[in-house]
A and B are shown apart, each in its own frame.
Chain A
Amino acid sequence: MKLNIIKQRGLWWTISGAIILSGLIAMTISWTNPEIGAPLRPSLDFVGGTRIQLELDCSKPGNCKPIDPAAVRQVVESQGLTNSSIQVVTTKDTRQPYAVSIRTKTLDAAAQSQLEKALNEKIGVFDPKKNEINTVGPTLGQEIFTKGLLALLVSFGGILVYLTFRFQFDYAFFAFVALFHDVFITAGIFSILGLVWGVEADSLFLVALLTIIGFSVNDTVVIYDRVREVLKLHPEMHINQIVDDAVNQTLTRSINTTLTTLLTLVSIFLFGGDSLKYFSLALIIGFIAGAYSSIFIASTLLAWWRERSGRARQVVPQPQASDEA
């Protein structure tokens, strides 16, 4: 198998552009949506609030019947908690709608226990061993968000400096473009998921983005490493040819590595715990985008830049080499 990377670069760029554009559109829609008000649907990790997830205790006879969201809403609103989101969830073991997830503004201890008591009276007895209750104050949410974003920027910076030091600035810059591409595509797809299915971006999502950065740069670096090596062996070759060769020589590795990583991630996505579901999905999207951008974007951009800036060929000491140029 031999890919014509350079020749078809218009196609690769168009594909990426289209995905990024649709992500941008989704972000704009969700930003203007008063219910969301941000490019991605933020979880309570970032904006604060209380989420209570309760599961009916099925060891009590006659206690387990499918939960009616309207009944839950009535209970919640009787506590003066308007604007809450209520979702009936299927349980892990029985696969029946016996669990409910409620997200409200930040509740203090008294309000929370009052709500739980009301739910236990009106809806059914819940198993305290299976509940999950999270409360984040608004200021702390803000802090988690800024710190996460800062971590993202710091690692961007650190990677840029390291690659400039190990390669050259233009390599580093395009590796940077490629990883920005991956982060953007993942965020865009999650914005779409947030609009369609209400998928939220939480602090694990930020972790996923950082992991994607690490892996995507890894992919890009392997190809750049090869470009540098081919360049050293054949300084007289045109950059387009060098990049084509480098990408093709490392293609099996790029595919195999992505494939093996995806094997575990897909199995976690399908069979793992609920809290890791969207985390692994974000990684799956990001790693595929990462492999794609390393093979098709970072490489072609580097070749394009070198050609444009008149460095398509390394300077060759022999005078006859100038005839070619």
Chain B
Amino acid sequence: MQRQRWTLLLILLLVAASIAIFWFKPLKLGLDLQGGSQLTIQVKTTDKVKEITPEKLEGVKTVIEGRVNALGVSEAVVQNVGNDKILVQLPGVNDPKEARAVLGGTAQLDFRQELDKPEIKVQSEVRRTELELLKQKQKQLETAGDRDAIAANQAQIDQKEKQVQELLSQLYKPTELTGQNLEGASYGPAQVGTNWTVFLRFNQQGGKQFAELTKSIAGTGRTLGIFLDNQLISAATVDAEYAATGIAGGNAEINGNFTLERAKELALQLEGGALPLPVSVEEVRTVGATLGQDSIQSSIYAGIGGLILVLIFMAVYYRLPGVIADVALIIYALLSWATFALLDVVLTLPGIAGFILSIGMAVDANVLIFERTREELREGKTLYRSVESGFYRAFSSILDGNVTTVIACLALFWLGSGLVKGFALTLGLGVAISMFTALSCTRTFLLLLVLGVPKLRQRPDLFCPNLPDATKSRAEAG
């Protein structure tokens, strides 16, 4: 009796604590429930960097965080997944087009100096014009939809691009001035025409280097090549008037015939910094906010409806113990939701499914115990001994069943991706908590009733209907 009282006190405390947690710390909803976009970014190796070390990944993550902040999405989440991926979650973003374009580009900016090689310069210009023509042809082919012709033309484009790259690398010499010397970037309309321009602001060292660079080529007719991810986006000459000092002041602009979108993307990318490694956006999942709410509501209503049926079934079929099990189940639900909130489990749709299934496991434990109790009663044992041995004997089945489920959950949690992890976590935690509630709550309540209310001991029919008379009288005698 004494022990049961203490357990009861502990249970009451836990319940009170859960309600408090519930009140002060609402559960976090996943993107599939609150609406938003999720992008998985794959970090790639290059010829120079053959392996993605944790430090490299961290570097990429920092840059991506910078760009996400530049996008201005509140409560965005950026995290590493595995050894070579980064997950970006953007709550409330229904249209991730911009995010996708901004996060996907490497944006390695560097300034190169043209060498005095007129022959190569002419060659490269011819090749570039040819390339432009091929690209225009590709657009026409795409509207026509002739697949073989598109593929053939693409092959030509690829070849031409290689030639252009080769010539450009001979023509230009890399300098020390790169995107790392930038302090910021912005965009605005170009002074001439309808295109847009990206404005660069150098830091102190960058400003100095830029001035020296422009000084060295001023008035020579040679150009300053601005390269983005190894592609020449702008080649500018510097007027002779700067031959003495270079362009000072630390500002520059790139006139690369940008559209508004491209100028904005590029400015955001440069502002966030260049990525040390190339990346690609491998997965984009978007759920509209209203859609998310619809699915959370209907799933939760359906789950609660099903659970109420289960509670009714337990009370009707198992009578008094069934009612007690119902109370224990409600406590179970409270405790697990509080645990989820405490552990910062982000609730996703599969997560809710996992939780509802774990309730199934909790019910099963009770069913096992009560069936066992009934068997003992039918064999003519007293109520108290039946209840005790019901728990005792059902224990190994409950343990084995739960351990195997936990094994499956561990495998899922260890190997699964985002959604799968949420499911494994709620189911696994639920199973663990259900062991506690079935074995301690149900048991304590039942024993307190059996021991504390003497009249109950004369009513074994509250536990099991249709007991044969002989066993009934023996049970009463006990």
Contact = CB atoms under 8 A, between A and B. Distances in A.
B288 A128 contact: yes
A211 B301 contact: no
Interface in B78-109: 94-97, 100-101, 104
Contact of B299 (A128, A252, A276, A283): A276
A128 B101 contact: no
A213 B427 CA distance: 13
Interface string B19-44: 00000000000001001000010100
Given A257-B363, A260-B367, A151 B407 contact: no
B69 interface: no
A268 B299 contact: yes
Contacts of A96: none
A197 B96 CA distance: 31
Contacts of B414: 151, 154
A222 B397 contact: yes
B317 A256 contact: yes
Nearest to A175: B404
Given A151-B416, A159-B408, A210-B408, A140 B42 contact: yes
A144 interface: yes
Interface residues on A, range: 35 or more
Nearest to A287: B360
B303 A267 contact: yes
Given A151-B416, A225-B397, A129 B360 contact: no
A256 B286 CA distance: 40
Interface in B95-132: 95-97, 100-101, 104
Contact of A267 (B104, B309, B412): B309
Contacts of B137: none
A249 B291 contact: no
Interface stretch (A24-32, A60-68, A185-193, A201-209): A201-209
Q: Which of B295, B307, B400 is packed against the most chain A CB atoms within 10 Å?
A: B400
A279 B288 contact: no
Given A140-B282, A280-B353, A264 B360 contact: yes
A257 B364 contact: yes
B359 A275 contact: no
Interface in B141-181: 142-143, 145
Interface of B: 32, 35, 40, 42, 94-97, 100-101, 104, 142-143, 145, 280-291, 294-296, 298-299, 301-303, 305-307, 309-310, 313-314, 317, 349-350, 353, 356-357, 359-361, 363-364, 367-368, 371, 375, 393, 396-397, 400-405, 407-412, 414-417, 419-420, 423-424, 427
Interface of A: 55, 77, 80, 82, 92-93, 108-110, 112-113, 127-137, 139-140, 144, 147-148, 150-152, 154-155, 158-159, 162-163, 166, 203-204, 206-207, 210-211, 213-215, 217-219, 221-222, 225-226, 229, 249-250, 252-253, 256-257, 259-261, 263-268, 270-276, 279-280, 283
